[in-house]
Amino acid sequence: MQLSVLQDAAVPPRVTAQPTPTPAATPFPIDIEATAKSALSPAEHRAALALIEAMLPGSARIPAADERTVLRAEDVVRAFHPIMLKPFGAAVTALDNAAIVYTGRPFHALDGNRQQQLLRTWENSPVMRTPMHVLGMLFKFAHFDATHVFGAQGRAFAKVHNVEKPRHFSQIFRADEWEGDDVIECDVAIVGTGAGGAVVGKELAERGHAVVFLEEGEHYTREAFSGSMVRAHGVFYRNALVVGNAPMPAFIGRMLGGSTAVNGGTSFRTPPWVLNSWCEQLGTDEFSPDAMLPMFERVESVLQVGIPDRRFIGPIADIMARGCDAYGWHHAPIARNAVGCEGKGFCDFGCATGAKRSTEISYLPGALNRGAIALTGLRADRLIVEKGRAVGVEGVSAKGKRLTVRSRAVVFAGGGIPTPAWLLERDLCNSSGEVGKNLTLHPSGATVGVFDERTDPAEYIPQAYHSAEFLQQGVLLSAAQPDYNIGSILFPYTGRRLMEAMDLLPHIATVAVVVRDSQANGRVRQDFHGKPVVTYNMLPRDMETYKFGLIRATELLVAAGAKTILPALVGADFIDAKTAVSTLRKHKLSPSEMALTSYHPLGTCKMGTDPRRSVVDVNHQAHDIPGFYIVDGSTVPSALGVNPQITIMAMATRAAGKIDQALT
């Protein structure tokens, strides 16, 4: 029996099952304000409270951290991984006791002034700054996103009601609520609905193939996107901590639409010199700029990529233009897949207006309207291989319900970190030993300039202006405008001076520095708890590139009229604009002081023609398992230097054509 579909579906489906179609549910978790009771021991709780109160002492405008912040911090840790609560308790106790070495007394026993002095000492210590910075990030994360703290700064979380439910929602099913057969038959099973999976699915559905999507995350619509940072990272993201000489968080979406639903909408094409290098590396001209042009144009057409209205970019555009013009550098607005965006929220926490055309809005409807179905809350558990060929996927829901999707081909599109972790856990596709290796991250930091003029960054599009002047040298400079609940992350220190800095937010301009990795030296491993372990070290060459970027960003801001400068270096102070550039040039950068993040993990399932040295071929098919395709950031052949959304989508468009040929 065929699956019930929309009456005007252009292509009859070949998905077989016996479901009772219902609109996909959009479960919305309870707001993460605080658990009722601390899971820490009394000593750990005392240490955590003392550290939080000292690190976040409040100001005339910002409420001080208190018991609620401790409980929210625990919730954040628990959302990341419940097993991390014990290390968290140990970490706060260790930091509390570390004060004995400096003062003869634990941190919680010191008076307020001595605590502030010690925090400053630790920020300048190569040994202490990293653990303090990591804990400080966690505490900021928990505190500034609390409703009462966010509200005290004149901000409010979005409330969206009566969201429209398009007809294709009837093709989206929560796995736990699926009433059809436990075995579903189709042409192509696709794991993941982000930039890779959704694009492949739409392209294949339009070619007449029956498609079933398996999505581990849930389907969230606009009413779920309140702008809460804690909620976003606890619910919409799959977070990973990158361990190495410069620890950094890596953020990956886990929901219908994947990372495209929680990114900035930035839509850069792959730089032509990068495409040419791939052609040389892979021995093919199929990735040349001319060959990929139709793929880029098709993607941009579906996404409706365009230049945002200047008035919604805000004063940061004028600041970057002034600074770049002073040196004759390139500058321009950033093309985005957000039609009619008016800058009404921080994009990385979800778009409450629906302006951003993430894949669940732009691509998935095209597949679902042609009879495809999407099963959410369903984690791919087992690849079904018969006679050496992939013929389906078995999935399991959070409640343990198991569904089997049998298919002629399987596409895995989990992302640069989840995909290799999944393969490693099951010992698949790794005869080359390359699964999980060759990770690049685009390490990113920032420089802040303080201006006399108001910039009001929270009122505008977060990332909508850039300079590509130094792109071939490995640096992208772009606007990075924070909301008040994430603004504290820009200031890489704690205590009273953090509160003083937060009062400057309405007058800051932030230029992000994105580094193109010179070498793919990161690695994804699987730990015994089923979570990926990501290791990565900033190489000396990349540290020099990052410093180069900080200096260029500083020159830009100073030329634009900044009065003081703050580079994103742990323990750094505001520097007078007159001496900022020379001060940075003289500074010897160390990995432990770099406050970095990553949103662009790439390269961990290497593409290549030699099965002994790569995981997939140039058509994205795994060397080890015919019929199994990997189409996501893990197969991007190298770091790009720009946001990878359009690159992954263009590669997925090409991959769909190859899969169609194989199935025809």
Q: What is the pLDDT of residue 532?
A: 83
pLDDT tier, 75 (very low <50, low <70, confident <90, very high otherwise): confident
Looking at the predicted structure, is the pLDDT value of residue 9 above 70? no
d(CA 219, CA 233): 15
Instruction: Please report how the helices 42-55 and 85-103 are oriented relative to each other, as an axis angle in degrees rounded to 10.
Output: 70
Q: What is the DSSP string of 406-445?
A: E-SEEEE---TTHHHHHHHHHT-S-TTS-TT-SBB---EE
For residue 64 the two structure tokens come to 């001080």
205 and 351 inside one domain: yes
- Give long-range contacts, CB 8 A cutoff, 24+ apart: 83-87: 83/529, 85/39, 85/40
Report, as an integer, the average pLDDT of 21-42: 58
Distance CA(48)–CA(67), nearest Å, equals 9
User: What number is the average pLDDT over the span 590-598?
Assistant: 90
Backbone dihedral angles phi then psi of residue 55, each to the nearest 5 degrees: -70, -30
Percent of the chain with pLDDT over 70: 94
State the pLDDT confidence band at 526, using cuts at 50, 70 and 90: confident
Output the pLDDT for position 157: 92
Question: Is residue 468 within 8 Å of 476, Cβ to Cβ?
Answer: yes
Residues 613, 466 within the same domain = no
- Kindly indicate the confidence band of residue 23, based on its pLDDT and cuts at 50, 70 and 90: very low
Q: Of 260, 261, 194, 190, which Cα lies nearest the Cα of 221?
A: 261
Verify that 296 and 415 share a domain, yes or no: yes
Whether 522 is in a domain gets the answer: no
Q: In this predicted model, what pLDDT tens digit does every residue of 45-63 receive, in sequence order? A: 999 999 999 999 999 999 9
Is residue 551 a part of any domain in this protein?
A: yes
User: In the listed set 593, 608, 636, which residue is the last one of a domain according to the structure?
Assistant: 593
Query: For 346-352, what is the mean pLDDT?
Result: 93
Token code pair at residue 631: 């189409």
Q: What's the mean per-residue pLDDT of the chain?
A: 92
The verdict on 386 and 370 lying in the same domain is yes
In a domain, 227, yes or no: yes
- Distance set, CA 235 to CA 25, 27, 148, 219, 255 (Å): 15, 11, 21, 11, 8
79 pLDDT band, cuts 50/70/90, is confident
Distances (CA, A) of 520 to 142, 456, 525, 601, 636: 33, 38, 15, 11, 12
pLDDT value at position 27? Answer: 41
- Counting residues of the chain whose pLDDT is more than 90, the rounded percentage is 82
pLDDT of 384: 98
Q: Please determine, for residue 30, whether its predicted confidence score (pLDDT) is greater than 80.
A: no
128, 191: one domain: no
Q: What is the pLDDT of residues 154-179, one digit of tens each?
A: 899 988 887 888 999 999 999 999 99
pTM of the entire predicted model: 0.93
Task: pLDDT band for 21, please (50, 70, 90 cuts).
Answer: very low
In this structure, are 285 and 370 located in the same domain? Answer: yes
Same domain, 208 and 114: no
> DSSP 3-state assignment of 447?
strand
Phi, psi angle pair for 437, to nearest 5°: -90, 180
- Which is nearest to 522 in space by CA: 243, 253, 317? 243
Interatomic CA distance for residues 77 and 229, integer angstroms: 14
pLDDT of residue 81: 73
Is 35 domain-assigned? no
pLDDT tens by residue, 270-320: 999 999 999 999 999 999 999 999 999 999 999 999 999 999 999 999 999
Confidence of residue 32 (pLDDT cuts 50, 70, 90): very low
Question: In this predicted model, what pLDDT tens digit does every residue of 205-258 receive, in sequence order?
Answer: 999 999 999 999 999 999 999 999 988 988 999 878 899 998 888 889 999 999
Q: Is the dihedral of CA 101, 103, 107, 113 positive or negative?
A: negative
Q: How confident is the model at residue 7, as a pLDDT?
A: 33
Asked if residue 194 is part of any domain, the answer here is yes
- Cα–Cα distance for residue pair 377/659, rounded to 1 Å: 26
Range of the domain at 82: 42-145
Distance CA 350, CA 264 (A): 9
Is 60 exceeded by the pLDDT of residue 16?
no
pLDDT at position 34 is 53
Indicate if 215 and 249 belong to the same structural domain.
Answer: yes
- Which pairing describes strands 564-567 and 575-576: parallel, antiparallel, or unpaired? antiparallel
Quick check: 531 pLDDT over 90?
A: no
Average pLDDT score over residue span 27-52:
76
CB-CB contact of 154 with 487 (8 Å): no
Tell me the per-residue pLDDT of 540-592, one tens digit each, with 9 for 90 and over.
999 999 999 999 999 999 999 999 999 989 888 899 999 999 999 999 999 98
Residue 3 has pLDDT above 80, yes or no: no
pLDDT at residue 6 tops 50:
no
Beta-bridge partner residues of 189: 212, 410
d(C-alpha 214, C-alpha 373), whole Å? 9
In a domain, 105, yes or no: yes
CA angle 654, 660, 663 (to 5 degrees): 145
How many whole angstroms separate alpha carbon 255 and alpha carbon 193?
8
CA-to-CA distance for 410 and 648, rounded, in angstroms? Answer: 18
Query: Do 133 and 257 have their domain in common?
Result: no
Q: Is residue 92 part of a domain?
A: yes
Contact 70, 138 (CB under 8 A): no
Query: Does residue 132 sit in the same domain as residue 171?
Result: no
- Mean pLDDT to the nearest integer, 132-137: 90
Question: Whose CA is closest to 440, among 520, 515, 514, 513?
Answer: 520
Tally of domains in the chain:
3
Place of tokens 């001080």: 64
Secondary structure string (H, E, C) spanning 478-505: EECCCCCCCHHHHCCCCCHHHHHHHCCH
CATH of the domain at 257: 3.50.50.60
CATH number of the domain where residue 567 is located: 3.30.410
460 and 326 belong to one structural domain = yes
Phi and psi for 373 in degrees, rounded to 5? -125, 155
Q: For residues 40 and 420, give the distance between their C-alpha atoms in angstroms, rounded to a whole number.
A: 34
Tokens of 294: 């139709």
Residues 191 and 329 in one domain: no
The pLDDT of residue 78: 84
* Domain assignment of residue 375, yes or no: yes
pLDDT value of position 485: 92
